[in-house]
Copies of this chain bind each other. A is one copy, B any other.
């Protein structure tokens, strides 16, 4: 009676995406992966997640093609979890969340991590959406065309 509902077949890419990475932990694991975390224990330390949860999340994300396992880069017999191409496609989701969080959830002098351009060492500017003609688009400039819902 209480199985979580799936949105996979809603015909909406947002819903389908959330069906895959919309739980409480997945995006945090993926964020860590972008930051270079690779080993089970590293994820656990970084996130403070229960081992059981982490194990099932890593398995699910791997099954879903977002992470893949690789032999440990330090020569030991352990394995590592790294982002696939599909997984690294979530970069802009993380960036958008980060920028929204910075802008709306922090007071001016509260300490927080920040994302910089590796080359210039400057903070990464705000993401922007542009139309084909180069015009900047806000949510009022867009519209979603629905598809028949099955």
B20 pairs with A7, CB closer than 8 A? no
Contact bitstring A1-20, B, C-beta under 8 A = 1, else 0: 00011010001111111101
Question: For A115, what are the chain B residues with a Cβ–Cβ distance below 8 Å?
Answer: 142-145
B7 contacts A101, C-beta separation under 8 Å: no
Identify which of B5, B91, B129 contacts A138 (C-beta below 8 A): B91
Give A24 to B19 CA distance when docked, in angstroms. 8
Q: Count of A residues near B, CB < 8 Å? A: 75
Q: Kindly state the separation between the CA atoms of A35 and B11 in the bound complex, as whole angstroms.
A: 14
B142 and A118: CB pair below 8 A? yes
A104 to B64 CA separation, bound complex (whole angstroms): 11
**A26-45, CB under 8 A of B: which get 1 and which 0?**
01100100110000000000
A5, A97, A129, most chain B CB atoms within 10 A: A97
Q: Does A122 contact B (CB under 8 A)?
A: yes
Contact between chains at B16 and A22 (CB < 8 Å)? no
Could you tell me if B13 and A92 are in contact, using CB atoms closer than 8 angstroms? no
Instruction: Provide the bound-state CA to CA distance between A17 and B24, in Å.
Output: 12
Contact A112 B13 (CB under 8 A): yes
